[in-house]
């Protein structure tokens, strides 16, 4: 993570963490035009806190020139809402650690989405410090209530 990497650092103060959050919010504002309206609104709001993974779908479609186009869809659910995250043109997908067979991935604690050379990098960290990273050409997030 570029802005929120000190989330798990017990040695920083709340004020320092709030400053990190402000820097991240300012960064999101600077790349706002790269998101559709709903995706930007949800990412900026911190929608994912306390969500759990309900479903992950990975679709690989070969194009006419034999290149593959990977799409990843994640359904997250909280007590009140559901969200569908769709990543199109995925170039990188990583799960940092195995999940707990009894708890699954458990609650999503924090996520950060940045833009690197026209590629979205979305990092999601779950309870137990399980980290996912997805790099894609497009990201769309929808509330599905």
* pLDDT string in tens for the chain (145-residue length): 788 887 878 888 989 989 988 999 999 999 999 999 999 999 998 887 778 888 889 998 776 666 668 899 999 998 888 999 999 999 999 987 665 666 566 788 889 999 999 999 999 888 777 788 999 999 999 998 6
User: CA 102 from chain center: how many Å?
Assistant: 23
**Structural domain for 102, as ranges:** 14-143
pLDDT reported for residue 86? 96
Phi first, then psi: what are they for 10, rounded to 5°?
Answer: -70, -15
As for how many domains the chain has, the answer is 1
pLDDT reported for residue 66? 63
CA distance 115 to 34: 9
Q: Is residue 9 part of a domain?
A: no
What's the CA angle centered on 52, arms 29 and 60, to 5 degrees?
80
What's the CA angle centered on 20, arms 94 and 39, to 5 degrees?
55
Q: Is residue 4 part of a domain?
A: no
Q: Is residue 33 part of a domain?
A: yes
CA distance 101 to 120: 30
pLDDT reported for residue 39? 94
Q: Under a CB-based contact definition with an 8 Å cutoff, are residues 76 and 54 in contact?
A: yes
pLDDT reported for residue 79? 86
CA distance 90 to 123: 13
pLDDT reported for residue 98? 63
Closest CA to 42 of 134, 132, 140: 140
Q: Is residue 8 part of a domain?
A: no
């Amino acid at each position: 993570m570029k802005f929120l990497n000190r989330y798990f650092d017990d040695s920083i103060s709340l004020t320092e963490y709030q400053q990190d959050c402000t820097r991240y919010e300012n960064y999101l504002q600077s790349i706002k035009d790269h998101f559709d309206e709903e995706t930007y609104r949800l990412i900026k709001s911190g929608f994912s806190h306390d969500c759990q993974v309900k479903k992950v779908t990975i679709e690989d479609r070969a194009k006419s020139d034999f290149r593959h186009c990977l799409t990843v869809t994640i359904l997250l659910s909280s007590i009140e809402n559901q969200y569908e995250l769709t990543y199109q043109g995925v170039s990188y997908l990583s799960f940092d650690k195995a999940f707990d067979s009894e708890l699954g991935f458990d609650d999503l604690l924090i996520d950060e989405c940045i833009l690197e050379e026209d590629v979205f990098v979305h990092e999601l960290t779950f309870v137990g410090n399980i980290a996912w990273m997805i790099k894609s050409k497009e990201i769309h997030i929808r509330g599905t209530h």
